[in-house]
Structures are given as C-alpha cells and as structure tokens.
Structure 1
Amino acid sequence: MKSHPASLLAEVRTFRQNHPDVRYVDLIALDIPGHFYGKRYPIEMLEKVAAGSPLKLPQNAVLLGAQGGLFKIGDYCFNDGDPDANRRLVPGTLKPVSWESQPLGQMLITSDGTEAPIEFEPREVLAKVLERLHHKGIHPVVAFELEFYLFDKKLDNGLPQFARDPLSDDADDQPNLHIERLSRFSEVLDDMAHTAKDQGIDITVITAEIGPGQFEINFGHLDDGLRAADRAALFCRSTRCVALKHGYRASFMAKPYLQYPGSGMHVHVSLYDGAGNNLLAAHQQQPLRHAVAGCLELLPHCMPIFSPNHNAFRRLGGTVNAATRASWGFEDRDACVRIPESDPRNLRIEHRLASADANPYLVLAAILVGLEHGLETKHEPIAPLNEDRSSGTDFPLDMLDAVRAMQHQSVLRDKLGAEFVDVYCENKRQDHLAFQQEINAREYRWFL
C-alpha cells in the first residue's frame, strides 16, 4: 500500500534530527538473484522524494544475473529501450548504517504499491500473494531462520579459508555445536546482532551450527509477511558488512564445503483468521494436513526458487537435515516440511528446504502459495516420515530440469503470475548456462 507523504516526510525529518551527520542514504531493493541494487541519495533529495517527488530507477535492474549482467528475456533488456519504472520508499526502513567509514543511512524502495508495479520484482510478487490471502481472510505470521558461515577475510587462490579463532588465532576447522564457539566469536556476533537490531530486525536465538565457523540466527515472528522478508534481506546485507569490519567474510552460500553441512533458510509460517484463530489447528488439525499436501504438491515445481543456483543443489541430501525428496514429518528435521511441537495457538509449519542464499521474498511467496493451494484442494498428504521413513516424492536436482518443471505449472503461473514465472525461469536458465561457460582446473586434470 502507498504511504501518505506526510508520514514519510516526518520519518525523514526525524531521521535527520537524530542523525545530523548523515549526508547520504542508500536507497536499495532486492533483484531476482537476491542482491541489492539502488542509488545513493543526498539526504536533501530524499526529503523531496518523501514529499512526493518521483523516484525512478531502470526497470531492468530487477533482471540482473548473479554476476550483474543482463540477459535477453523476451523483449526485456535489449528491445524495450531500458525504461525507468517508478519506485516508492518503504515506510519504517530508514535506518543508520554503522559499518561504513562515514555516517550513512539506508532505506528500502519497491515498486509494489505504485501505479505500475514491476510484475517480476520479488517484493511485488510477495505483496500480491499476501494481498490475495488477506482478501480471503487468511493472515500469515512468519519467522525466518538463517544459517551462514564465517571465513577468513582473505581467500586462498579464490578458495575460502577457515575463520581464525580470535582467542587462539588457530583456524576454526572443527565441526561442532559447542556453546564455547559463541563466546570465542562473541565480538563479531554481538556486533551482527546489535547492527541488525539497529535496522529494526528482531533478533532472538543465536546458535553455533555443526559446520566449522557456521552459525544460525533466528528472528521473531511477524504478522506482516513483507516486513518479515524485508528483515531477512536486510540481515544478509548487514551481516556480510559487519563481518568484513571484523576481519571475516560472512557468506550465505548454500554449500561452501562438500564435507560439511550447507546453510539453509528455514521459514516458520502460521495462518490466522481475522479474529486471531489459528486456521491450521481447526477441525482436529485437518487444515494443517491439507496445507502440507499443497506445499508438497507444488514443491518440485518451486525448486528454482528454493535452490536458486548451481551450488544450492549441492546442499540437497549430502549431509545433515537436507532432503532429496518432498517430505513432511512431526518434529523431524529430515523433512522438507517439519511440524514443530506446539500448542494449538502456535501450530505452524517449518519449511526447511530453501538455501540461505535464496531470495526471501520469493521463498515466502512460494510457501504461501503451497499452503493456499492445499487449503483450496483439501487433499490428504503422503505419509509423514514418522510413519514411513521412505515417504516422499521426487523433485528436480538440476537447474535446467527444475526450470522446466516450474515454467508450465498452472497453479504457479496463476498464483505467482505468469509474467513472473516466465521471466524468473529464463533468468535462472541463462544464469546457469553462463555459469557453465568456464573450464575449471579439474577438467584439465581429468581430460587434458
């Protein structure tokens, strides 16, 4: 929804009063691969935008590939004249940035809520899904959990090096879940949490994960799906920047080490009606079963969203808690869709398949469409893993197969938008083909 100029103007003016040394603000939005693009605005110009002046950026900035290049996708990029598209400021997201050498602010921008939203902009895709659910009287409550690795700031011939233990200066090369790791890396982790809170992100639990230098940070539940995805995206940006300040490199890469667990994006979703009743818990939890069935039915067709690059497919099935089949279970971390133990008020699904470097707007949109589809079709799910450890349905384990499975799926084309599905699939196809256009050292070792 559009925000009233008066409230935006008040937000900018309050920010200027509280941070008089800030001269510039980065206006940023997430593209299809999950990278931020935007412009750095003088604070005086931001005040004019907040008052109603136009804010325009190239429409095709949303279509950038993983390396920032443009692909020919229909008439976009090369046959459309590279037009500008209107953006708007996202209220409540103007915050100070603490990781730059000079005082700086940042603020999210989006095309959703404008007169001509960009159909394939990730935030707009999610906004449409949420708007449709709200009209049906369905109100999601969402919480993200993100895993990431810390590496040494310097690469070794392009390869990551283990993060150095700040107490011993030795490489943190031992996989473990020890609480002491949180203490040893407390300085950088505390700064990450403090900086995230400065960005308006509700940080809760911090966990040392199994991989060497691997951590997980959880966020509080939100009844605003757009804000929940905003916070996941902003957290990735702030975490990477804070790590560099401390001499580390933080990465949400799905599978940086073949021998250690990958990094996932776990999303908890509850559905409530307008009176605050948990829809999934009604009628002896029958809607929960229907919602799970819908998620599992569409999951094989959403793989380009959940595993958005070649490396992300490496994460599936190789090590701990990463499935290779669409499955569900109660309190079962081997399942793609886990039902955590809870009381009826907090009954929810935990969707565990997406990689940490997936686009949070699109991941949440795909999950919600699966839940919506299940509530509409009212099918029974396959057996949970608790009853049958072999239960599950296959999904693509290769990007080109995954794109073919997604592009012509009628439910996704209807509920996510046909234009988005076509653009997204072609973007992923072209990115994957571009990635393949390099001969690595292993090929020469094997075949020269």
Structure 2
Amino acid sequence: MKSQSATLLAEVRTFRQNHPEVRYVDLIALDIPGHFYGKRYPVEMLEKVAAGSPLKLPQNAVLLGAQGGLFKIGDYCFHDGDPDANRRLVPGTLKPVSWEAQPLGQMLITSDGTEAPIEFEPREVLAKVLERLHHKGIHPVVAFELEFYLFDKKLDDGLPQFARDPLSDDADDQPTLHIERLSRFSEVLDDMAQTAQAQGIDITVITAELGPGQFEINFGHCDDGLRAADWAALFCRSTRGVALKHGYRASFMAKPYLQFPGSGMHVHVSLYDGAGNNLLAAHQQQPLRHAVAGCLALLAHCMPIFSPNHNAFRRLGGTVNAATRASWGFEDRDACVRIPESDPRNLRIEHRLASADANPYLVLAAILAGLEHGLETRQEPIAPLNEDRNSGADFPLEMLDAVRAMQHQAILRDKLGAEFIDVYCENKRQDHLAFQQEINAREYRWFL
C-alpha cells in the first residue's frame, strides 16, 4: 500500500510540474449505463488523496439510469441512507484534458482494490472475472474496436443532421467506405487520435465505415483487461469532447439511422498461459471450439449487456453484419463470434455483437465468462456459418425478454456475481419502462 501511495504521489507531482496551468482534475468512473460520474478536485487536494487521504463518493452513483436519475433497486437508493463508498485512484490515468475551454486534468477512480469494493460497479465486476482467470493460469489479451458517427453540432428539432464535408460544405450523406473520407475529415480525426494517445490509449487503425459520417477506431492488443476497457471508456469521452471543439457531434449511439448500419463494439480476445502459450491453439485448436461453445451458450443471457438500451436492439439484423442469432464462423462477419485468420500464436475470437454504447467493462466481463464456461464444460459448438448458413441459436430481441433471460441464469450469476445481476437487471428494466413513459408524434398519428 505504501509503495502504491508513493507511485501515485510521484505521478501527481510529475503531472503538476508538467502542467502548472492545471488547477482542477476530474476524478471519474463509469456507471452502469456507461456514463462517467465523479468529482472535480483541486489539484492540491488530489495530491493529498494520492498520499493516502480518503476518497469517498456516494455508492449509489453507480446505479444512475440512462438519464441520470435513481431507481428503487432493492434497498438501494431510497432505503439505505445513500452511503458513501471508498474509491481509489487508478495509477497511470492522470492525463491533461485538451478539449475543454480551460486547462483541466482527469483521472480514473474505482472501488476495485479497496477494502469494500462495490459489487455492482462495472470495473469491479470485470476485475473479479480477471482475478479468477489469473488464478486458473489464464491470461487474456484484449483489443477493442469502436464504431461511431459524426453529426453536425446542431440538431434539427432534436434530430441529428449529417456532418458537413469540410472541403465542400455539403452534407456527408452518402454511404461509403472510401478512404477519401478520412482525408476530408482528417483534421478532427487526427485530433481525436492524438488526444486519445495523450490519454495513454494505444490507437492503431482508423477506418471510414459504410454509414455516412461513420468511422471505426481500433486499439492495440493489451495484456491487461482492465486497461483495455479503460481505453475504450476514455476514448468515448475524449472523442465526444474533440468533436464538439471542431463543430461536430460524435455519438456511439447504436442505431442513429434506420437505413444505415449501426455502430458496434468489437472485442478481440486471446487467452495465454503463464509461459505465453496460446491456450486456444492447443490440441488442434480444440480449446477454441470449447470457448466458442461457452460464448454462444451464455450469449442469450447477456443481451442486456451487449444491447443495453432500446435503441441498441434496433441495430440487430437490420443491415450489414449484425446478427439476430447466436452464431460463429471463420472469417465471417455475419457471425456473432468470428474467428479471424491468424497464426497459432495470435489465434483469437472476435466478439461482434455488442453495440458501441455498451459498457466496455461489462461487455468484456461477459465475454470472458463465456470463454471460461466453455473451457470448463468442454462442449462442442453448433456448426459454423461456413458449413451451415442457417446455423445459430435464438436470443432475445427486446429488453424485457432479455432481462428475464439474464436474471435467473445460474452460471452467469455465479461468474458475474448474483448481486450485480440483480442490480443490473432492475436498472435495465426501470430504464426501459421510463423510456416508454412518453407519447411521441408517431403514436398520435397512428391512434388519435
């Protein structure tokens, strides 16, 4: 503990020396819907926290709904006195913020690793899964890919407008994979990449996707699953800020246009033993087949994680490469679980089902739980799509059905924690019901 405090204190002091203009630092963490909450600390107070002073925030901040309100979930929120819970600083995440008007810093905080971690905090859920795997001698290497859309900064009566092409000032309203779009939007994309790198995020490939104004960013493979999820979370925050600075609005919304492809979160995962051997490649890749079978077995019960809101379910099966059944395949982007072509050293799965606005900590935790389950049970998977284009198992395509499938699944309750499952399912149920409590114009047109 003393060595960690010394490391944190050195990090804060180095940051103050390198950025004397910064007076405040945002201490931030991801809640259940995937939004950041936290507090803005004077930088001199941050130094005291790094030296060991308590850092406490309300425990129930993790339970916020999609719109920021609190729901009654068991005894939480309205019958527990709204207690504080200890958090800690995440080493290596204190970075300058370049997209705000005033000099600012930010740093991740978490309850995992504290004396009483919050069982339903997303980062803690993932930390427990990773710890269990490490005790079994399994070491994941992870890489996220995130798709997002650029829109005009101004909304039109609440609706998004196509991003304006900086060269022609015309709306970028045509679906295209052309690399010229990267050139036309290079100023904002370069700033996004540089800003992410300044946050310590390993940015690799940038791709123009099929939707108008749609792009994909790939991250480097990381042997620390928590850090890989941190990168995905922090990238979303910085990308939104940089876009606004350039006159755009960046969104990771799963399905902003019905007629164009949605935005996904693709997660590449390989598993290694302590000696660095790829576990999935052993014994003629039989463990790979078991891992795939485990992922598919739990997939239907993880849908509230992979599609965390009403809009995310719109993405499934609508257009390109978005499955409506649990499936797998070699080099097949129609599959939920794709096996990219690679040598045995880099053999991995690519989990393609989650929407871009899903919580990266929970998505990775759910994927790893499926892989672990498969390696334990050693079941054979269904036929890959390469052999049978109709292969696949049904999964829920509506939130309340998905919550029912998740809440009482014994394997998932064991691997992700029963308390987390109960809290998460009720949060999603209440969010969905709250979303329904509004009559829109279409409903009046149809039924008035």
Range of TM-score over shorter length: over 0.9
Q: Using a 3 Å threshold, how does the CA distance of structure 1 residues 16 and 371 change in structure 2: closer, same or farther? A: same
| CA deviations over 1:180-222 (Å, ceiling 9, x no partner) | 0000000000000000000000000000000000000000000
| CA deviations over 1:323-354 (Å, ceiling 9, x no partner) | 00000000000000000000000000000000
Q: Give the distance between the partners of 1:156 and 1:446, measured in 2 at CA.
A: 23
| CA deviations over 1:275-323 (Å, ceiling 9, x no partner) | 0000000000000000000000000000000000000000000100000
Q: Give the distance between the partners of 1:30 and 1:307, measured in 2 at CA.
A: 17
| CA deviations over 1:41-80 (Å, ceiling 9, x no partner) | 0000000000000000000000000000000000000000
| CA deviations over 1:80-124 (Å, ceiling 9, x no partner) | 000000000000000000001111000000000000000000000
Q: Give the distance between the partners of 1:159 and 1:327, measured in 2 at CA.
A: 34
Preserved contact between residue 182 and residue 189 of structure 1 (Cα < 8 Å): yes
What secondary structure does 2:145 align onto? strand
Preserved contact between residue 3 and residue 91 of structure 1 (Cα < 8 Å): no
What secondary structure does 1:249 align onto? strand
| CA deviations over 1:105-154 (Å, ceiling 9, x no partner) | 00000000000000000000000000000000000000000000000000
Preserved contact between residue 2 and residue 114 of structure 1 (Cα < 8 Å): no
The aligned residue for residue 60 of structure 1 is 60
The aligned residue for residue 115 of structure 1 is 115
**C-alpha deviation, 1:4, in angstroms:** 1.2
| CA deviations over 1:206-259 (Å, ceiling 9, x no partner) | 000000000000000000000000000000000000000000000000000000
What secondary structure does 1:301 align onto? helix
Q: Under a length normalisation based on structure 2, what TM-score does the superposition of the two structures give?
A: 1.00
Preserved contact between residue 255 and residue 261 of structure 1 (Cα < 8 Å): yes
The aligned residue for residue 420 of structure 1 is 420
Q: Using a 3 Å threshold, how does the CA distance of structure 1 residues 63 and 408 change in structure 2: closer, same or farther? A: same
What secondary structure does 1:302 align onto? helix
**C-alpha deviation, 1:18, in angstroms:** 0.5
| CA deviations over 1:159-199 (Å, ceiling 9, x no partner) | 00000000000000000000000000000000000000000
The aligned residue for residue 393 of structure 2 is 393
**C-alpha deviation, 1:409, in angstroms:** 0.3
Q: Give the distance between the partners of 2:388 and 2:407, measured in 1 at CA.
A: 31
Q: Give the distance between the partners of 1:2 and 1:348, measured in 2 at CA.
A: 38
The range that moved more, 363-372 or 3-12, is 3-12
Q: Give the distance between the partners of 1:318 and 1:14, measured in 2 at CA.
A: 50
The aligned residue for residue 309 of structure 1 is 309
Q: Give the distance between the partners of 2:38 and 2:208, measured in 1 at CA.
A: 33
Share of identical aligned residues, percent? 94
Q: Give the distance between the partners of 1:146 and 1:5, measured in 2 at CA.
A: 34
What secondary structure does 2:200 align onto? coil
Q: Give the distance between the partners of 2:279 and 2:2, measured in 1 at CA.
A: 29
Structure 1 stretches of 5 or more lacking a match?
A: none
| CA deviations over 1:379-425 (Å, ceiling 9, x no partner) | 00000000000000000000000000000000010010000000000
Q: Give the distance between the partners of 2:199 and 2:420, measured in 1 at CA.
A: 29
Q: CA RMSD in A?
A: 0.7
**C-alpha deviation, 1:261, in angstroms:** 0.1
**C-alpha deviation, 1:27, in angstroms:** 0.1
| 1:429 matched to 2:442 | no
Preserved contact between residue 112 and residue 124 of structure 1 (Cα < 8 Å): yes
What secondary structure does 2:207 align onto? strand
Q: How does 1:231-246 map onto structure 2 within 5 Å?
A: 231-246=231-246
Q: Under a length normalisation based on structure 1, what TM-score does the superposition of the two structures give?
A: 1.00
**C-alpha deviation, 1:3, in angstroms:** 6.7
Q: Using a 3 Å threshold, how does the CA distance of structure 1 residues 3 and 70 change in structure 2: closer, same or farther? A: farther
Structure 2 stretches of 5 or more lacking a match?
A: none
The aligned residue for residue 247 of structure 1 is 247
Q: How does 1:38-187 map onto structure 2 within 5 Å?
A: 38-187=38-187
What secondary structure does 1:158 align onto? coil
